[in-house]
């Protein structure tokens, strides 16, 4: 699996790092998760700076493309240069968004005639683009999915993991982050020992660039 | 509130960034959340590099000190120089840990005679230090609390927010990250509009240092 998480300035921390952490827990040596952006660095709304692993145009070669969210989506949805860098194909790629990232899917024409979910504060804006917005944590339409409410990243990442690695891997990864006593138990030690996020090729590339 | 999140090399992404995101959602202009470390930069297990806002010795002046987790805790728990930098006082500070961060609380002598929770993979190790380890997502003993299983960060951050800003603020912040249709609703738009993480003083300091 070659997966990309799309970032931009003014992203929401948890909507990038939660997907990142979950997808890295797969621990498949032939997989790579990378953070792609337009610029070398992007800063979240709280000022956390992240260095990209590659340019957004590299999404063409990815199996999975997930758009993060944050205040920045309001600007990027009308940024022609940003939008024109994407050559996505929902026939061969899994494409998804967290929260207001749905505005970017809509701007790319990927939600035409489809249902989608988004963060409450941009529901009206997404509706104004013609999308049928539904109050659900996760909406899948073929190879395109939208998730909303930060913790719904579990559904979005879970969908990707199940599609690419099967239901057992999805269960292993999602179990590893549940609260102890509420989905994760001391007796799960063996089961979750392998499901911690470790450095992958994407991260190594980034590290070398630093 | 002056809050610190403690990082080190080989931290777990979600255990730093989830607490960071939640505490920043308080949006109080007189509060500051900072990421403190021994070195200028620390890298997570997946290679995400974060620049600290200050040195761990600055925890003495904080109201809240939260230890993150990750593979790095196994080394830091016996690192005398690291441990000696802390001058914590549970009489005047709220002190907490996520997952294997409990190993650091134990190494600092903060869990003597106390119950605590931790990640399944280090349960035995924590028990070997004399701590009574219980299978709970959140364990509070006075001003010291441990949480385990990444999503239990909600309990730990929620405890801090309620202690410092009241139950209504806790509810507002935690609601803002729930999945849409499962705890967060389109009708909550007004309520959560203010509960997004924005740049605070700590982050501005970090940004200026870059």
pLDDT digits (tens, 9 = 90+) for A132-141: 999 999 999 9
CB distance B180–A207 less than 8 Å?
no
Candidates A46, A154, A185: best to mutate against B (most CBs of B within 10 A) is A46
A189 vs B117, B120, B187: nearest CB:
B120
Average of per-residue pLDDT values in chain B: 93
The CA distances from residue B121 to A191, B183, B203, in Å, are 10, 30, 33
State residue A191's pLDDT score. Answer: 79
State residue B100's pLDDT score. Answer: 98
For tokens 């389109």, name the residue: B186
State residue A200's pLDDT score. Answer: 58
CATH number for the domain including B137? Answer: 3.40.50.880
Structure tokens at A116: 């989608």
Chain B hits for A199, CB-CB cut-off 8 Å, are 45-47
pLDDT digits (tens, 9 = 90+) for B87-109: 999 999 999 999 999 999 999 99
* Among the listed residues A61, A143, A62, the one whose alpha carbon sits nearest the alpha carbon of residue A105: A143
pLDDT at B208 over 70: no
pLDDT digits (tens, 9 = 90+) for A85-98: 999 999 999 999 99
**Which B residues in the span 94-153 are in contact with A, Cβ-Cβ below 8 Å?**
117-121, 123, 135-138, 147-152
Structure tokens at B90: 């549970």
CB distance A12–B45 less than 8 Å?
no
* Global confidence as pTM: 0.94
Chain A hits for B135, CB-CB cut-off 8 Å, are 180-181, 185-186
B14 vs A17, A148, A149: nearest CB:
A17
State residue A158's pLDDT score. Answer: 98
State CA B29 to chain mean position distance. Answer: 20
For residue A24, give every residue at least 6 positions away whose Cβ sits within 8 Å of its Cβ, in sequence order, or none: A33, A197, A198, A200, A203, B13, B46
Asked if A192 reaches chain B (Cβ–Cβ under 8 Å), the answer is yes
- Backbone φ and ψ for B47, nearest 5 degrees, come out as 95, 10
For tokens 């997952």, name the residue: B99
pLDDT at B158 over 80: yes
Q: How far is B116 from chain A (nearest CA, A)?
A: 12
Q: How far apart are CA A84 and CA A76, in angstroms?
A: 11
pLDDT digits (tens, 9 = 90+) for A103-156: 999 999 999 999 999 999 999 999 999 999 999 999 999 999 999 999 999 999
Structure tokens at A174: 């999602």
Q: What is the ipTM of this complex?
A: 0.93
B47 vs A71, A118, A203: nearest CB:
A203
Tell me the average pLDDT across B191-206.
60
State residue B193's pLDDT score. Answer: 75
Average of per-residue pLDDT values in chain A: 93
CB distance A49–B210 less than 8 Å?
yes
State residue A195's pLDDT score. Answer: 74
Q: How far apart are CA B161 and CA B145, in angstroms?
A: 13
Report CA torsion sign: A23, B72, A177, A175: positive
Q: Find the domain containing B146 and state its range.
A: 2-209
**Which A residues in the span 17-56 are in contact with B, Cβ-Cβ below 8 Å?**
17-18, 20-21, 24, 43-51
Name the residue of chain B whose CA is nearest to A152's CA: B179
pLDDT at B195 over 90: no
* Among the listed residues A198, A153, A138, A163, the one whose alpha carbon sits nearest the alpha carbon of residue A1: A163
pLDDT at B27 over 70: yes
CB distance A17–B12 less than 8 Å?
no
Asked if A159 reaches chain B (Cβ–Cβ under 8 Å), the answer is no
Name the residue of chain A whose CA is nearest to B197's CA: A46
For residue A61, give every residue at least 6 positions away whose Cβ sits within 8 Å of its Cβ, in sequence order, or none: A2
* Number of domains into which chain B is organized: 1
Name the residue of chain B whose CA is nearest to A205's CA: B47
Q: How far is A181 from chain B (nearest CA, A)?
A: 5
Confidence at B209, pLDDT banded by 50, 70, 90: very low
* Among the listed residues B132, B137, B129, the one whose alpha carbon sits nearest the alpha carbon of residue B109: B129
Q: How far is A136 from chain B (nearest CA, A)?
A: 5
- Cβ–Cβ under 8 Å, residues B72 and B92: no
Name the residue of chain B whose CA is nearest to A199's CA: B46
pLDDT digits (tens, 9 = 90+) for B107-153: 999 999 999 999 999 999 999 999 999 999 999 999 999 999 999 99
CB distance B120–A47 less than 8 Å?
no
The H or E element that residue A90 is part of is none
pLDDT digits (tens, 9 = 90+) for A150-183: 999 999 999 999 999 999 999 999 999 999 999 9
CB distance B44–A197 less than 8 Å?
yes
* Among the listed residues A173, A168, A164, the one whose alpha carbon sits nearest the alpha carbon of residue A192: A173
| Strand-strand pairing, A54-55 and A138-141 | unpaired
Give B95's strand partners.
B65, B144
């Amino acid at each position: 699996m070659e997966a990309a998480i799309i970032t931009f300035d003014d992203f929401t921390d948890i909507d990038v790092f939660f997907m990142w952490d979950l997808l890295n827990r797969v621990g498949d040596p032939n997989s790579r998760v990378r953070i792609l952006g337009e610029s070398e660095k992007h800063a979240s709304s709280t000022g956390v700076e992240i260095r990209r692993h590659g340019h957004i145009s590299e999404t063409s070669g990815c199996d999975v493309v997930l758009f993060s969210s944050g205040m920045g989506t309001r600007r990027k949805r009308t940024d022609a240069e940003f939008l024109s860098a994407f050559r996505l194909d929902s026939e061969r790629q899994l494409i998804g968004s967290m929260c207001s990232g749905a505005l970017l899917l809509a701007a790319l024409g990927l939600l035409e005639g489809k249902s989608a979910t988004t963060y409450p504060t941009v529901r009206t804006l997404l509706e104004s683009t013609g999308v049928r917005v539904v109050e659900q944590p996760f909406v899948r339409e073929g190879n395109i999915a939208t998730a909303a409410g930060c913790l719904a990243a579990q559904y979005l990442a879970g969908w990707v993991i199940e599609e690419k690695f099967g239901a057992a891997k999805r269960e292993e990864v999602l179990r590893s982050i549940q609260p102890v006593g509420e989905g994760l138990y001391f007796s799960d030690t063996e089961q979750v020992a392998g499901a911690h996020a470790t450095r992958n090729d994407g991260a190594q590339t980034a590290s070398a660039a630093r």
